[in-house]
Structure 1
Protein backbone atom coordinates (compact mmCIF):
# COMPACT_ATOMS: atom_id res chain seq x y z
CA UNK A 1 0.00 0.00 0.00
CA UNK A 2 2.86 2.41 0.80
CA UNK A 3 4.35 1.63 -2.61
CA UNK A 4 1.21 2.94 -4.34
CA UNK A 5 1.67 6.35 -2.67
CA UNK A 6 5.24 6.51 -3.96
CA UNK A 7 4.13 5.56 -7.47
CA UNK A 8 1.56 8.39 -7.44
CA UNK A 9 4.18 10.85 -6.24
CA UNK A 10 6.60 9.77 -8.97
CA UNK A 11 3.89 10.16 -11.65
CA UNK A 12 3.00 13.62 -10.37
CA UNK A 13 6.64 14.77 -10.23
CA UNK A 14 7.25 13.41 -13.77
CA UNK A 15 4.43 15.65 -14.99
CA UNK A 16 6.17 18.73 -13.58
CA UNK A 17 9.57 17.72 -14.92
CA UNK A 18 8.20 17.66 -18.45
CA UNK A 19 9.70 20.55 -20.47
CA UNK A 20 6.33 21.29 -22.10
CA UNK A 21 4.76 21.93 -18.71
CA UNK A 22 7.41 24.51 -17.74
CA UNK A 23 7.24 26.06 -21.21
CA UNK A 24 3.69 27.16 -20.47
CA UNK A 25 5.00 29.27 -17.60
CA UNK A 26 7.97 30.73 -19.44
CA UNK A 27 6.08 31.39 -22.69
CA UNK A 28 2.40 31.76 -21.76
CA UNK A 29 1.59 33.73 -24.92
CA UNK A 30 2.39 30.65 -27.04
CA UNK A 31 0.43 28.33 -24.81
CA UNK A 32 -3.15 27.19 -24.75
CA UNK A 33 -2.64 26.39 -21.05
CA UNK A 34 -5.13 27.85 -18.59
CA UNK A 35 -4.39 31.59 -18.19
CA UNK A 36 -4.53 31.36 -14.41
CA UNK A 37 -1.08 29.74 -14.61
CA UNK A 38 0.50 32.52 -16.67
CA UNK A 39 2.73 35.22 -15.22
CA UNK A 40 2.90 38.96 -15.73
CA UNK A 41 5.61 40.40 -17.97
CA UNK A 42 7.88 41.25 -15.03
CA UNK A 43 7.50 37.81 -13.45
CA UNK A 44 8.10 36.16 -16.80
CA UNK A 45 11.26 38.24 -17.32
CA UNK A 46 12.59 37.16 -13.91
CA UNK A 47 11.85 33.51 -14.66
CA UNK A 48 13.50 33.73 -18.08
CA UNK A 49 16.56 35.42 -16.60
CA UNK A 50 16.79 32.75 -13.90
CA UNK A 51 16.49 29.92 -16.41
CA UNK A 52 19.11 31.49 -18.69
CA UNK A 53 21.84 31.34 -15.99
CA UNK A 54 22.48 35.07 -16.41
CA UNK A 55 21.91 35.63 -12.70
CA UNK A 56 24.39 32.93 -11.76
CA UNK A 57 27.52 34.33 -13.43
CA UNK A 58 29.53 36.00 -12.13
CA UNK A 59 29.21 34.76 -8.58
CA UNK A 60 29.20 37.73 -6.21
CA UNK A 61 29.35 38.66 -2.56
CA UNK A 62 27.75 41.88 -1.29
CA UNK A 63 28.30 43.11 2.25
CA UNK A 64 28.62 46.24 4.37
CA UNK A 65 32.04 47.24 5.66
CA UNK A 66 33.12 50.57 7.19
CA UNK A 67 30.19 52.57 5.81
CA UNK A 68 30.49 51.07 2.32
CA UNK A 69 28.63 48.45 0.36
CA UNK A 70 31.33 46.10 -0.91
CA UNK A 71 30.81 43.86 -3.90
CA UNK A 72 33.24 41.19 -5.00
CA UNK A 73 32.65 39.33 -8.27
CA UNK A 74 34.56 36.28 -9.48
CA UNK A 75 35.69 36.79 -13.07
CA UNK A 76 38.50 34.31 -13.71
CA UNK A 77 40.16 34.60 -17.10
CA UNK A 78 38.34 37.81 -18.02
CA UNK A 79 40.35 40.82 -19.19
CA UNK A 80 39.81 44.09 -17.37
CA UNK A 81 38.97 45.79 -20.69
CA UNK A 82 36.11 43.31 -21.26
CA UNK A 83 34.28 44.37 -18.07
CA UNK A 84 31.78 47.21 -17.91
CA UNK A 85 30.22 48.30 -14.60
CA UNK A 86 27.41 50.84 -14.37
CA UNK A 87 24.94 52.15 -11.83
CA UNK A 88 21.34 52.80 -12.83
CA UNK A 89 19.27 54.15 -9.94
CA UNK A 90 19.64 51.47 -7.24
CA UNK A 91 20.94 48.70 -9.52
CA UNK A 92 24.59 47.90 -10.15
CA UNK A 93 25.10 46.24 -13.54
CA UNK A 94 28.16 44.13 -14.29
CA UNK A 95 28.53 43.27 -18.00
CA UNK A 96 31.30 41.62 -19.90
CA UNK A 97 32.46 38.80 -22.06
CA UNK A 98 34.58 35.71 -21.53
CA UNK A 99 36.48 34.45 -24.51
CA UNK A 100 38.32 31.15 -24.16
CA UNK A 101 38.30 29.98 -27.78
CA UNK A 102 41.42 30.41 -29.90
CA UNK A 103 41.08 29.62 -33.60
CA UNK A 104 44.71 28.61 -34.10
CA UNK A 105 44.55 25.81 -31.52
CA UNK A 106 43.52 22.19 -32.00
CA UNK A 107 41.25 21.34 -29.05
CA UNK A 108 41.01 17.85 -27.57
CA UNK A 109 38.73 19.00 -24.76
CA UNK A 110 36.72 22.25 -24.66
CA UNK A 111 34.66 22.69 -21.49
CA UNK A 112 35.03 26.44 -21.03
CA UNK A 113 32.83 28.33 -23.43
CA UNK A 114 32.92 31.90 -24.64
CA UNK A 115 29.95 33.98 -23.58
CA UNK A 116 28.67 37.40 -22.73
CA UNK A 117 27.26 37.99 -19.28
CA UNK A 118 25.23 40.57 -17.41
CA UNK A 119 24.45 40.56 -13.71
CA UNK A 120 22.13 43.07 -12.08
CA UNK A 121 22.50 43.59 -8.33
CA UNK A 122 19.89 45.62 -6.47
CA UNK A 123 21.57 47.76 -3.83
CA UNK A 124 19.95 47.59 -0.38
CA UNK A 125 20.38 51.32 0.36
CA UNK A 126 21.27 54.62 -1.36
CA UNK A 127 24.94 55.17 -2.21
CA UNK A 128 27.09 58.18 -3.05
CA UNK A 129 27.28 57.71 -6.81
CA UNK A 130 30.15 60.19 -7.13
CA UNK A 131 32.54 58.30 -4.83
CA UNK A 132 32.37 54.74 -6.16
CA UNK A 133 35.69 52.94 -6.47
CA UNK A 134 36.56 49.67 -8.17
CA UNK A 135 39.56 47.46 -8.85
CA UNK A 136 40.28 44.20 -10.66
CA UNK A 137 42.99 41.90 -9.37
CA UNK A 138 43.58 38.15 -9.67
CA UNK A 139 40.21 37.59 -11.35
CA UNK A 140 38.24 39.39 -8.61
CA UNK A 141 36.32 42.57 -9.40
CA UNK A 142 35.99 44.64 -6.20
CA UNK A 143 33.57 47.55 -6.01
CA UNK A 144 33.19 49.91 -3.06
CA UNK A 145 30.04 52.04 -2.90
CA UNK A 146 29.90 54.57 -0.03
CA UNK A 147 26.56 54.44 1.75
CA UNK A 148 24.70 57.72 1.56
CA UNK A 149 23.61 58.61 5.08
CA UNK A 150 21.16 61.43 4.62
CA UNK A 151 19.67 63.01 7.67
CA UNK A 152 15.95 63.23 7.32
CA UNK A 153 14.90 66.80 6.69
CA UNK A 154 11.90 67.99 8.63
CA UNK A 155 9.64 70.06 6.44
CA UNK A 156 7.24 72.40 8.15
CA UNK A 157 3.74 72.39 6.67
CA UNK A 158 1.55 75.33 7.49
CA UNK A 159 -2.15 74.72 7.87
CA UNK A 160 -4.34 77.37 6.33
CA UNK A 161 -7.59 78.51 7.80
CA UNK A 162 -10.87 78.03 5.98
CA UNK A 163 -10.77 81.14 3.87
CA UNK A 164 -12.16 81.51 0.41
CA UNK A 165 -9.52 82.24 -2.16
Structure 2
Protein backbone atom coordinates (compact mmCIF):
# COMPACT_ATOMS: atom_id res chain seq x y z
CA UNK A 1 0.00 0.00 0.00
CA UNK A 2 1.48 3.34 -0.96
CA UNK A 3 1.62 6.45 1.20
CA UNK A 4 -1.25 8.22 -0.61
CA UNK A 5 -3.60 5.30 0.06
CA UNK A 6 -2.65 5.26 3.75
CA UNK A 7 -3.22 9.00 3.93
CA UNK A 8 -6.68 8.59 2.37
CA UNK A 9 -7.61 5.89 4.87
CA UNK A 10 -6.47 8.08 7.76
CA UNK A 11 -8.43 11.09 6.50
CA UNK A 12 -11.54 8.95 5.97
CA UNK A 13 -11.35 7.51 9.50
CA UNK A 14 -10.49 10.86 11.08
CA UNK A 15 -13.63 12.49 9.67
CA UNK A 16 -15.93 10.00 11.40
CA UNK A 17 -14.19 10.46 14.77
CA UNK A 18 -15.15 14.13 15.01
CA UNK A 19 -17.87 14.86 17.57
CA UNK A 20 -19.63 17.35 15.30
CA UNK A 21 -20.20 14.64 12.70
CA UNK A 22 -22.11 12.46 15.18
CA UNK A 23 -24.08 15.40 16.58
CA UNK A 24 -25.24 16.41 13.12
CA UNK A 25 -26.03 12.84 12.19
CA UNK A 26 -28.47 12.33 15.04
CA UNK A 27 -30.20 15.69 14.93
CA UNK A 28 -33.71 15.20 13.58
CA UNK A 29 -34.22 18.74 12.36
CA UNK A 30 -34.88 19.08 8.67
CA UNK A 31 -33.14 22.47 8.67
CA UNK A 32 -29.82 20.83 9.60
CA UNK A 33 -28.83 18.52 6.75
CA UNK A 34 -25.95 16.11 7.10
CA UNK A 35 -22.57 17.75 6.57
CA UNK A 36 -21.06 17.69 3.10
CA UNK A 37 -17.34 17.00 3.29
CA UNK A 38 -14.41 16.53 1.00
CA UNK A 39 -13.32 13.35 2.76
CA UNK A 40 -12.17 10.63 0.43
CA UNK A 41 -14.58 7.78 -0.18
CA UNK A 42 -13.70 4.13 -0.54
CA UNK A 43 -15.73 4.15 -3.76
CA UNK A 44 -13.50 6.83 -5.25
CA UNK A 45 -10.18 5.32 -4.36
CA UNK A 46 -7.92 2.48 -5.29
CA UNK A 47 -8.66 0.74 -1.97
CA UNK A 48 -11.49 -1.49 -3.18
CA UNK A 49 -11.12 -4.36 -3.50
CA UNK A 50 -8.51 -4.99 -0.84
CA UNK A 51 -5.79 -7.32 -1.96
CA UNK A 52 -2.50 -8.97 -1.09
CA UNK A 53 0.40 -9.65 -3.46
CA UNK A 54 3.03 -12.19 -2.54
CA UNK A 55 5.57 -14.60 -4.03
CA UNK A 56 5.69 -18.32 -3.31
CA UNK A 57 7.49 -21.16 -5.12
CA UNK A 58 8.47 -19.03 -8.17
CA UNK A 59 4.90 -17.72 -8.59
CA UNK A 60 3.47 -14.30 -7.85
CA UNK A 61 -0.04 -14.21 -6.40
CA UNK A 62 -2.57 -11.40 -6.11
CA UNK A 63 -5.49 -12.26 -3.82
CA UNK A 64 -8.52 -9.94 -3.94
CA UNK A 65 -11.53 -9.99 -1.64
CA UNK A 66 -14.60 -10.13 -3.89
CA UNK A 67 -17.24 -12.20 -2.08
CA UNK A 68 -20.37 -13.06 -4.00
CA UNK A 69 -19.08 -11.93 -7.39
CA UNK A 70 -19.36 -13.94 -10.57
CA UNK A 71 -15.73 -14.51 -11.55
CA UNK A 72 -16.72 -14.37 -15.24
CA UNK A 73 -17.64 -10.71 -14.76
CA UNK A 74 -14.18 -9.71 -13.53
CA UNK A 75 -12.00 -8.26 -16.30
CA UNK A 76 -8.22 -8.41 -16.06
CA UNK A 77 -5.97 -6.48 -18.44
CA UNK A 78 -2.22 -6.17 -18.58
CA UNK A 79 -1.21 -2.56 -19.24
CA UNK A 80 2.14 -1.11 -20.24
CA UNK A 81 4.75 -0.55 -17.55
CA UNK A 82 3.99 -3.84 -15.75
CA UNK A 83 0.60 -2.78 -14.42
CA UNK A 84 -2.28 -5.19 -14.08
CA UNK A 85 -5.78 -3.69 -14.15
CA UNK A 86 -8.80 -5.40 -12.63
CA UNK A 87 -12.32 -4.13 -13.39
CA UNK A 88 -15.74 -5.19 -12.26
CA UNK A 89 -19.02 -4.25 -10.67
CA UNK A 90 -19.53 -5.30 -7.07
CA UNK A 91 -23.24 -5.65 -6.38
CA UNK A 92 -24.58 -6.33 -2.91
CA UNK A 93 -28.02 -4.73 -3.23
CA UNK A 94 -30.92 -7.14 -2.94
CA UNK A 95 -34.08 -6.28 -4.85
CA UNK A 96 -37.59 -6.11 -3.37
CA UNK A 97 -36.55 -5.87 0.25
CA UNK A 98 -36.39 -3.33 3.08
CA UNK A 99 -32.92 -2.86 4.55
CA UNK A 100 -32.45 -2.32 8.29
CA UNK A 101 -28.69 -2.22 7.90
CA UNK A 102 -26.76 -1.65 4.66
CA UNK A 103 -22.98 -1.45 5.01
CA UNK A 104 -21.79 -3.18 1.86
CA UNK A 105 -21.49 -0.96 -1.18
CA UNK A 106 -22.60 -1.38 -4.76
CA UNK A 107 -19.81 -0.04 -6.88
CA UNK A 108 -17.96 -0.28 -10.12
CA UNK A 109 -14.25 -0.63 -9.47
CA UNK A 110 -10.99 -0.34 -11.34
CA UNK A 111 -7.90 -1.46 -9.45
CA UNK A 112 -4.41 -1.04 -10.88
CA UNK A 113 -1.50 -2.90 -9.34
CA UNK A 114 2.16 -2.47 -10.27
CA UNK A 115 3.83 -5.82 -10.83
CA UNK A 116 7.39 -6.48 -9.66
CA UNK A 117 8.38 -8.19 -12.92
CA UNK A 118 7.35 -8.17 -16.55
CA UNK A 119 4.75 -10.79 -17.39
CA UNK A 120 3.10 -11.91 -20.61
CA UNK A 121 -0.71 -11.78 -20.62
CA UNK A 122 -0.89 -15.39 -21.82
CA UNK A 123 0.93 -16.44 -18.60
CA UNK A 124 -1.74 -15.02 -16.28
CA UNK A 125 -3.86 -17.62 -14.50
CA UNK A 126 -6.96 -17.12 -12.36
CA UNK A 127 -8.90 -18.87 -9.65
CA UNK A 128 -11.90 -17.96 -7.47
CA UNK A 129 -12.59 -19.72 -4.20
CA UNK A 130 -14.39 -18.68 -1.01
CA UNK A 131 -14.77 -15.07 -2.16
CA UNK A 132 -11.08 -14.65 -3.00
CA UNK A 133 -10.22 -13.94 -6.64
CA UNK A 134 -6.60 -14.92 -7.30
CA UNK A 135 -4.42 -13.86 -10.20
CA UNK A 136 -1.16 -15.76 -10.41
CA UNK A 137 1.77 -16.09 -12.76
CA UNK A 138 5.21 -17.68 -12.88
CA UNK A 139 8.22 -15.52 -12.21
CA UNK A 140 10.29 -15.06 -15.38
TM range (shorter): 0.5 to 0.7
Q: How many positions carry a matched residue from both structures?
A: 99
Contact 1:85–1:93 under 8 Å retained in 2? yes
**Higher RCO, 1 vs 2 (CA within 8 Å, ≥6 residues apart):** 2
Higher share in helix: 1
**Residue number in structure 2 paired with 1:94:** 86
**Residue number in structure 1 paired with 2:124:** 132
Q: 1:72 Cα deviation (Å)?
A: 0.8
- Provide the secondary structure at the position in 2 that maps to 1:130: helix
TM-score by length of 2: 0.63
Q: 1:52 Cα deviation (Å)?
A: 4.6
Which among 75, 79, 93 is matched to residue 84 of structure 1? 75
**Deviation >4 Å, runs of 4+:** none
Contact 1:128–1:146 under 8 Å retained in 2? no
Contact 1:76–1:140 under 8 Å retained in 2? yes
Q: 1:126 Cα deviation (Å)?
A: 1.2
Higher share in strand: 2
Contact 1:135–1:142 under 8 Å retained in 2? yes
Measured against aligned partners, the alpha-carbon deviations of 1:96-147 in whole angstroms (never above 9, x if no partner) come to 1111112311222222221111110000111233221111111101111222
Q: Could you tell me how far apart the structure 1 residues matched to 2:103 and 2:49 are?
A: 17
**Residue number in structure 2 paired with 1:106:** 98
TM-score by length of 1: 0.54
Does residue 1:56 correspond to 2:44, yes or no? no
Query: Larger radius of gyration, structure 1 or 2?
Result: 1
Contact 1:95–1:118 under 8 Å retained in 2? yes
Contact 1:129–1:145 under 8 Å retained in 2? no
**Residue number in structure 1 paired with 2:30:** none
**Residue number in structure 2 paired with 1:67:** 58
Q: Could you tell me how far apart the structure 2 residues matched to 1:106 and 1:134 are?
A: 36
**Residue number in structure 2 paired with 1:142:** 134
